[in-house]
A and B are shown apart, each in its own frame.
Chain A
Amino acid sequence: MTEDLDRLVRDTVVELAAEAQPRDLLASVQARARRIRVVRGIGYLCAALVAAVSLAVPFLAVHRDRALPPATVDPTGTPSPSHRPTIVPVADLGAPVVLPRGWVVTAAVQAGPDTGDSYVLDRATHRYLRVGYPTAWPAPTGSLVAVTRPDGTGLGLLDLATAAVRWVLQQPATNPQWSPDGNRLLVTLSPDAFAVVDPGTGRVSTHTIDRSAYRCDDACGFSWYPDSRQVVLALTDTSVPHRDAWPDVQRGLQLFDAATGAPGALLPVHGTVAHAGDWSPDRRTVLVTGTAADGTGGRHAEYQLVDTATGQVRGPYPAQPASSWWVDDQQLLSIPARLRVCATDRAGAAGACATLPADFTELAIVIAPS
């Protein structure tokens, strides 16, 4: 594993560096140098300023848990001319990619902050379309696709039937997830705020949770509970001292009412859940990223199947929650190796597999029953 990790770290650092956008910084550098000169020149004023600021700080302090500003909604729901979608049929992807158990790939999207296009299955024509958005999440049924702008500053609803985009949020929103019944769209606004979009009306409900009571420090994405009425957030166990070298321990999975934001049950599951497909259909087992002892007194992250009633870890699982989906109470579809999707049992033993097309290399896929 050491050599593999070494190579992966190198690739990741190089990839991070490559994302830097070229800029002409000369003017801003010169302005900043001038500011430094001025600040040095008036250094003697600092003592007086410090005294003044010390007196003023109590009145300037901003409450840390202030509510987010209300979501900005486009009331007209009109397509934005500056973000007209490019939608191109993909010639060599003319039929749905069929997976074991009759599921299909409904989208392949950019997994990171990269810009680029996504592939979306048009269920009306059974063809994949390339759309000009890095994130494109098709609804479980129908022709709507949730899309985000390349800079992440807006959430839109692309209707494949009309090729029009209705922008419903004009603020950073991540991790769009359709409810399992397909009626609503959930997005994460911050570690303590989420929004639910009614795709019919475009109405957005924003909910801020009480961070002092429901604190999340790591992997703070909201996801749907399988009932399509509640959302889930993994709470950090703050009674376990934080160590930079170890992953945090989760206190449990907290449910919130999607319509009101009111807190519900706290499930004794010590891990983070990625999406509604990580819950077995009977909701008795959930696939999470949890922690396990590393044998030296520390702990490391581990993918685990967990009993939702007791929190007991039933065993490790070989694939990531983010790329696994339960198809019945005994089997999951997961990606045990690159470009391979396999039906696996609870122990992770692979059965039937399908190979993904090379077009989907390095993209995240979205799958659904056909």
Chain B
Amino acid sequence: MDARSDGDFARFVADRTTALLRAAHALTGNQHAAEDLVQGALAKAMLRWRHIADDPEAYVRRILYHDHISGWRRRRRRPETPMAAVPEAATADGTDEAHLRMLLREALLELPPRQRAVIVLRYLEDLSEREVAQILDCREGTVASQASRALAKLRRLVPPQAVEAWR
């Protein structure tokens, strides 16, 4: 990259890193994995900067979500729970409100990566099914079915008594 492109890229990173980290944290559930995901997407963007400079945000978001999904495929279907992430919600004493949030959080992080990506794009980024389909390179019907399956799973994992109590 020339000096001008360098400057443009540095400004883009400075402007957009926080927003990208938020999305990545919602996808991964932890800071380290989120930083790794964002770094990877931005590094690929840097290498293609000349070609994507018109709309780098769209490119980086696509890479972010696709890397999240494909990265997961390379791992075991059921990874061991890391020590720092032993689910406290199911075991600590506390209010229903606080624990319901933790239950949902655990359930969200157990969703298959494509379903989690759809949930984050729909609920965090407030994108339409069409926009989500464009980012994930799939049909709108697939987005709808993935979202439906994700919500069905969350409904099963979180006892109905918990949701009733929180109303």
Are B14 and A338 in touch, CB under 8 angstroms? no
A residues near B23, Cβ cutoff 8 Å = 17
- Complex A-B, nearest 6 residue pairs according to Cβ-Cβ distance, in ascending order: A364-B94, A221-B91, A111-B98, A20-B25, A219-B90, A32-B43
Cα distance, A361 to B13, chains bound together (Å): 37
Q: Which of B61-69, B133-141, B155-163 contacts A (4 or more CB under 8 A)?
A: B155-163
- As a 0/1 sequence over residues 1 to 28 of chain B, the CB contacts with chain A under 8 angstroms (1 = contact) are 0000000001001100110011111100
- Within 8 Å by CB of A335, from B119, B149, B165, lies B165
Count chain A residues whose beta carbon lies closer than 8 angstroms to a beta carbon of B. 91
Q: Which partner residue on chain A sits nearest B153 by CB separation?
A: A245
Whether a CB of chain B sits under 8 angstroms from the CB of A286 is no
Are A362 and B155 in touch, CB under 8 angstroms? no
Are B86 and A25 in touch, CB under 8 angstroms? no
**Which residues from 3 to 19 on chain A have a C-beta closer than 8 Å to any C-beta of chain B?**
4-6, 8-19
Are B96 and A245 in touch, CB under 8 angstroms? no
Are A111 and B94 in touch, CB under 8 angstroms? yes
Cα distance, A27 to B46, chains bound together (Å): 12
Contacts A17-B22, A29-B46, A244-B153 given; does A289 touch B95 at CB 8 Å = no
* Given A5-B163, A171-B83: 13 more A-B contacts, CB < 8 Å: A12-B104, A19-B31, A20-B18, A26-B14, A30-B43, A153-B84, A175-B91, A188-B86, A220-B81, A221-B86, A247-B157, A272-B91, A364-B95
- As a 0/1 sequence over residues 99 to 113 of chain B, the CB contacts with chain A under 8 angstroms (1 = contact) are 111101100101110
Whether a CB of chain A sits under 8 angstroms from the CB of B143 is no
- As a 0/1 sequence over residues 27 to 39 of chain B, the CB contacts with chain A under 8 angstroms (1 = contact) are 0010100110011
Are A360 and B95 in touch, CB under 8 angstroms? yes
**Which residues from 355 to 370 on chain A have a C-beta closer than 8 Å to any C-beta of chain B?**
356, 360-367
Are A29 and B13 in touch, CB under 8 angstroms? yes
A residues near B157, Cβ cutoff 8 Å = 247, 300-301
Rounded to whole Å, the gap between the CB of B133 and the closest CB of chain A is: 19
A residues near B91, Cβ cutoff 8 Å = 175, 177, 188, 219, 221, 223, 272, 274-275, 322
A residues near B47, Cβ cutoff 8 Å = 33, 36-37
Whether a CB of chain B sits under 8 angstroms from the CB of A339 is yes
Are A1 and B155 in touch, CB under 8 angstroms? yes
Are A302 and B159 in touch, CB under 8 angstroms? yes
Whether a CB of chain B sits under 8 angstroms from the CB of A22 is yes
Rounded to whole Å, the gap between the CB of A314 and the closest CB of chain B is: 15
Whether a CB of chain B sits under 8 angstroms from the CB of A252 is no
Cα distance, A318 to B164, chains bound together (Å): 9
Contacts A22-B17, A219-B90 given; does A9 touch B95 at CB 8 Å = no
A residues near B159, Cβ cutoff 8 Å = 289, 300-303, 320
Number of A-B contacts (CB under 8 A): 267
**Can you report 5 residue pairs joining A to B where beta carbons are below 8 Å apart?**
A33-B43, A177-B91, A274-B91, A289-B90, A300-B156
Cα distance, A109 to B95, chains bound together (Å): 10
**Which residues from 283 to 331 on chain A have a C-beta closer than 8 Å to any C-beta of chain B?**
289, 294, 298-303, 316-320, 322-323, 325
Tell me the B residues contacting A by CB distance below 8 Å: 10, 13-14, 17-18, 21-26, 29, 31, 34-35, 38-40, 42-44, 46-47, 78, 80-81, 83-84, 86-102, 104-105, 108, 110-112, 119-120, 123-124, 149, 151-167
Rounded to whole Å, the gap between the CB of B129 and the closest CB of chain A is: 15
Cα distance, A2 to B167, chains bound together (Å): 12
A residues near B90, Cβ cutoff 8 Å = 218-219, 221, 272, 274, 289, 322
Contacts A1-B163, A18-B22, A302-B159 given; does A219 touch B87 at CB 8 Å = yes
B residues near A360, Cβ cutoff 8 Å = 95
Are A152 and B84 in touch, CB under 8 angstroms? yes
Rounded to whole Å, the gap between the CB of A343 and the closest CB of chain B is: 16
Q: Which partner residue on chain B sits nearest A299 by CB separation?
A: B156
Whether a CB of chain B sits under 8 angstroms from the CB of A254 is no
Rounded to whole Å, the gap between the CB of B144 and the closest CB of chain A is: 15
- Within 8 Å by CB of B100, from A8, A14, A289, A325, lies A8
Q: Which partner residue on chain B sits nearest A362 by CB separation?
A: B98
Cα distance, A177 to B167, chains bound together (Å): 30
Contacts A10-B123, A29-B43, A300-B157 given; does A112 touch B93 at CB 8 Å = no
Are B123 and A9 in touch, CB under 8 angstroms? yes
